[in-house]
Structure 1
């Protein structure tokens, strides 16, 4: 489902409970995350919905390289000849999107959290089990000693390193739009439990929940109003309030 202007010049495409975003400005479009293999055609239709062409897409950025965010990246890179950007600590995972660390055994989650079953079933139908990784990734890093520079792509997003869900996970701060694209640093739907509201993703897919919760401080420090998560509905009540709720909810 396509949702235009969830914040100024940022458009949301939701497919099988996974969100990706189109950042639009006069220079073109940046696609943030790519969903599943079957999402690529929907991305092309979303570009057309905002009156733009595929040629206007200048870059793809991955908040992280789990299979449900990297699913169409290789296809877009090869067909549209656009660079795919990711934090340098995501390089291995981008090429091998199923070989990620997680804290808890996923097998028991459908028993403990039956509300997650229909979510995971839709993701499977969308191609969650057939993702091809991508090796040709343009890498950026986020030095601790100085503020991160914006990426030279449409929208000029500033990557903020928020490790925990994965080791190279980054959110993208769009200060001029009062917005953070949060990836899975904080979500409003956990696919593994079916629970809604601001939270970190469960240990079934998170490498280190303690680190993930600690990283939320950097998210709150953006001071943004609009939080656009990788799963679930956007949150427009202030990032700091979403972080407070996620910390209170804790890991699962």
Structure 2
């Protein structure tokens, strides 16, 4: 497989919101698209690396929150690249159903009261729709890796596992003070919202046990495997629901299964 580079795209300062580009000799894959209006920030990073929107061969949206899916429709229009996502978040992507939020801390409880998590974006239908526990190879897009359903943050969360032992996990995990890289960027924390911590713990443990050594995420990071595993063990002791213990996620029973 050709040369491969993971490029972080800062959407907000201090690594508070990141998208990522997997750059190869055969083209590039954009992982997440930032908040609405982020296409120019993505374009600046592309130009810095000698690329244009037309070099994007695939857009992977890890889940339906506005800071990850907000510019997907516009970047698809600019690049012509298809969008890959999971069916269990499709009603959110289309804007048919409003997003639900299970808060994890006081930060999440304050954040969900602001307009930011609820910022509307242009709805879209994914061009490539993953179903159930389906795994998709990225080799036809020039990347040696797979996309896999990694539920727990939202019902349709997905992640990328690369042969380079890098994992791109969206919001399965975050790092730093609050979220991002202001300080303690190497310390794993829960994101402000999380449907089912035990399911997230199983997914993170599976990734580490499968050989992932570096974790790239939407808020903060990257993190090393040992820190991810420490965090997963903490999550495994928690219960589904928001910071007050009330269930608010929409995970289906099958998503909590350990086996894939």
Assess if the C-alpha contact under 8 Å between 1:59 and 1:85 holds in 2. Answer: yes
2-side partners of 1:141 and 1:10: how far apart? 26
> Is the partner of 2:137 in helix, strand or coil?
coil
- Cross-structure match for 1:181: 168
Deviation, 1:77, is 1.4
Assess if the C-alpha contact under 8 Å between 1:142 and 1:159 holds in 2. Answer: no
Matched residue count: 228
Tell whether 2:8 aligns with 1:9.
Answer: no
Tell whether 2:132 aligns with 1:135.
Answer: no
When residues 37 and 228 of structure 1 are mapped into structure 2, their CA distance, relative to the original with a 3 A threshold, is: same
Q: Per-residue displacement from partner, 1:119-167 (whole Å, max 9, x unpaired)?
A: x98x94xx962422212432123647xxx34133232431122211111
Assess if the C-alpha contact under 8 Å between 1:186 and 1:200 holds in 2. Answer: yes
Q: Per-residue displacement from partner, 1:20-58 (whole Å, max 9, x unpaired)?
A: 110111211110000011211011111111112222111
- Cross-structure match for 2:190: 200
- Cross-structure match for 1:103: 102
2-side partners of 1:37 and 1:11: how far apart? 20
When residues 49 and 199 of structure 1 are mapped into structure 2, their CA distance, relative to the original with a 3 A threshold, is: same
> Is the partner of 2:199 in helix, strand or coil?
helix
1:4-153 to 2 correspondences below 5 Å: 9-16=5-12, 17-96=16-95, 99-104=98-103, 109=106, 124=116, 129-141=119-131, 143=133, 148-151=135-138, 152-153=140-141
The range that moved more, 152-161 or 85-94, is 152-161
When residues 243 and 132 of structure 1 are mapped into structure 2, their CA distance, relative to the original with a 3 A threshold, is: farther
> Is the partner of 1:37 in helix, strand or coil?
coil
When residues 53 and 11 of structure 1 are mapped into structure 2, their CA distance, relative to the original with a 3 A threshold, is: same
- Cross-structure match for 1:164: 152
Runs of 4+ in 1 over 4 A off after TM superposition: 110-113, 189-192, 249-252
Length-normalised TM-score, structure 1: 0.77
Deviation, 1:88, is 2.1
> Is the partner of 1:20 in helix, strand or coil?
strand
- Cross-structure match for 2:207: 219
- In angstroms, what is the RMSD of aligned CA positions? 3.3
2-side partners of 1:130 and 1:111: how far apart? 19
Structure 2: segments with no counterpart, 5+ residues? 244-260
- Cross-structure match for 1:231: 219
Tell whether 2:227 aligns with 1:241.
Answer: yes
2-side partners of 1:233 and 1:71: how far apart? 21
Deviation, 1:240, is 4.4
When residues 110 and 166 of structure 1 are mapped into structure 2, their CA distance, relative to the original with a 3 A threshold, is: closer
> Is the partner of 1:233 in helix, strand or coil?
coil
Length-normalised TM-score, structure 2: 0.75
Assess if the C-alpha contact under 8 Å between 1:35 and 1:69 holds in 2. Answer: yes
